[in-house]
Structure 1
């Protein structure tokens, strides 16, 4: 098969959205001929990697806007989003020309993984696969105080999510897709209202086989419990939930590592001081993807507190390194992560959530055997769902899509 992948962000040296496009392209190219349309922000990373690891089945087409339309500034999200919409239009024009030359069998749009911006690639005369698609989830209203002045933006986003099923461009893209791959149940419902006929719960993000330890990582007993939290410092990521839980755990020998950066860094650092947790919580700043592996091995528990998130690929990275995960039990992580490897806190009220997080930490501190069993279950889950395994499943799905296109009576595709 000749596959055209479209991913706005792509890099072999990053996690999150960049890793989704890269790992998918690399895995599929083991069996298919793959062309990737992406933004050139990480072009040097890609070319350096391919120079060391030549792959004749993998080709890149870097699409860049000109002049004022081309800023790549992640600190100006409004400008970046406008840039993304304009980039989609230019990428589609490039895709049309590329298809005339290469005659692709199928086009798959993978990044950004959001339903909010409908891609136009379904207009190509080949089956269009869209996903992983998220973005249908919203922040629970009961937690608005954790957003501060940002709640206005979050509230407006919630209104937009409710309107998404009725936006003509999104309805058209949804209804013209040969298959939509979804990540969380909230997005499934939005897609259903928009008229989606062919959906499948399929989180295409898997850990590359070479990044999964062959032997389960063992952790030596320590006098203290190390918790790891990693994400961008913005209101929806919910770090204060963990900080408030730590107030009730002063009798335990805990160490908390916080990796990341963002607009709330000074505020959250001040909150740590206000809560008298400076001896417990250590801010590490931005940590690159390769350094994160060392942190996973140093930690005993990974804590994920996002109040609004499509999924959270970082949780899979933690599971791959044998870490039990303590998480809020909603949205993508609530649905996708295995129960045997996670403690999932029901999202009810702020006070109850903070109490449950504290109880979960206390439980994991008191029971090293439980930590071991959860970590082992997570590691085994990731091994069984590695990127190569997921790629094989996706290739089979591609073949089913193409078979149905040739003969609609041959097989029905999944519907929801």
Structure 2
């Protein structure tokens, strides 16, 4: 059995997003290899409880490198750039811990797993004589500025500046370049990220979305696609990336048919007021139900009854809400971009090209009309979701990662470190 040293800053068996992603990778990889995991340790108690009952607990060895609570708060406050300074310091110390582990154990593979943002590749690549894997890697795409109509001037300027910084960093950041060229395998979370790595850095890339799907073993299926009307769901934060405005504008194009949209999520007071005013001015406020923030269980219960998830985001990794829709046999309509563009195909939903706001609204409305008139197609998409659950399962993703590891072992002797 091979030994793999994994760097996973955020890891938790009871959370979603980055912490849950890392835990699911580690939990499934432990079936196939012996893991040495360095993590920050905010959820040390939960990790140790989960490991104690894990069927492959003897293959899971955790090393904790905790940070103060103030740094954890910076991490949770997305957009707080101060966190990156502390995060780099954490990575430097992690290199020392990793070197100690390597000196005491036979390590066959080094793997920089998360956080997936490309700006911080860690320092495991500095360890010589052991193949280095980086990924899934995300965050290399730029914000399409044409979709920011209606945001404040300061928000628009902020997005422009962020695009400029991202563009420079993805091309020229010295440590990013070093990690890219030191790795024997690079794993991209999205096709957009893969295109950047291949286009600018001429490196081979394996495409594996960073998150997986749980299989729905429950026989309960509450969907009734042949009832009158159509029930849409929209789930997310009320920020510019999620583009709730596209969904409201789409509803305006559908006033001649019986369509209702359930909006789950929240934003600032100003954001909420902006979108509610938009719905009122568009004449569709009576066709929209504002649910606010709901528990994950409540969201999934709604998914088991809805007819279609309308997902309008333009900047994502691989969105967990889309995978939850697949788990609950709910067809998805989204833009063919980011992680959702790889997950959703014609077997379980519909995608439209990322063009401009006007054309996207037109295309969303056309697809919804098509499904409104063809309920058998909706039923067929829902029925196919189970096969997609298997394809996107964590177990299958772990097997794909093992293929990457074995490729590294096959070429270890000829690889020039």
TM above 0.5: yes
Shift in Å at residue 291 of structure 1?
A: 4.2
Map of 1:187 onto structure 2: 193
Map of 1:412 onto structure 2: none
Map of 1:341 onto structure 2: 348
Map of 1:178 onto structure 2: 184
Matched residue of 2:333: which SS? Answer: strand
Number of residue equivalences: 407
| 1:85 lines up with 2:88 in the alignment | yes
Shift in Å at residue 395 of structure 1?
A: 1.0
After superposition, the C-alpha distances for 1:106-139 in whole angstroms (9 at most, x for unaligned) are 1222222222223211112321111111222122
After superposition, the C-alpha distances for 1:309-332 in whole angstroms (9 at most, x for unaligned) are 233232222122211110012233
Task: Specify which of 205, 224, 230 is matched with residue 199 of structure 1.
Answer: 205
Structure 2: tracts of 5 or more residues without a match: none
Distance in 2 (CA, whole Å) between partners of 1:303 and 1:391 is: 29
Shift in Å at residue 406 of structure 1?
A: 2.7
CA separation of 1:190/1:378 partners in 2, compared to 1, >3 Å: closer, same or farther?
Answer: same
Matched residue of 2:4: which SS? Answer: strand
The CA RMSD over aligned residues, in Å, is 2.7
Map of 2:263 onto structure 1: 258
Map of 1:357 onto structure 2: 364
After superposition, the C-alpha distances for 1:44-102 in whole angstroms (9 at most, x for unaligned) are 44344335546222232232224754534533521444443333333333322233333
Residues 9 and 18 of structure 1 are in contact (CA less than 8 Å); yes or no, is this contact kept in structure 2? yes
Distance in 2 (CA, whole Å) between partners of 1:114 and 1:393 is: 21
Distance in 2 (CA, whole Å) between partners of 1:102 and 1:228 is: 50
Task: Specify which of 204, 212, 217 is matched with residue 216 of structure 2.
Answer: 212
Map of 2:36 onto structure 1: 35
Map of 2:172 onto structure 1: 166
Map of 1:102 onto structure 2: 105
Residues 33 and 58 of structure 1 are in contact (CA less than 8 Å); yes or no, is this contact kept in structure 2? yes
Task: Specify which of 378, 381, 402 is matched with residue 374 of structure 1.
Answer: 381
After superposition, the C-alpha distances for 1:256-304 in whole angstroms (9 at most, x for unaligned) are 2223334444543443444444433333334444444323212211111
Map of 2:289 onto structure 1: 282
After superposition, the C-alpha distances for 1:3-43 in whole angstroms (9 at most, x for unaligned) are 22222322222323222211100000112112322233333
Matched residue of 1:358: which SS? Answer: helix
Map of 2:325 onto structure 1: 318
Is 230-239 or 396-405 further displaced after alignment? 230-239
Task: Specify which of 230, 233, 236 is matched with residue 228 of structure 1.
Answer: 233
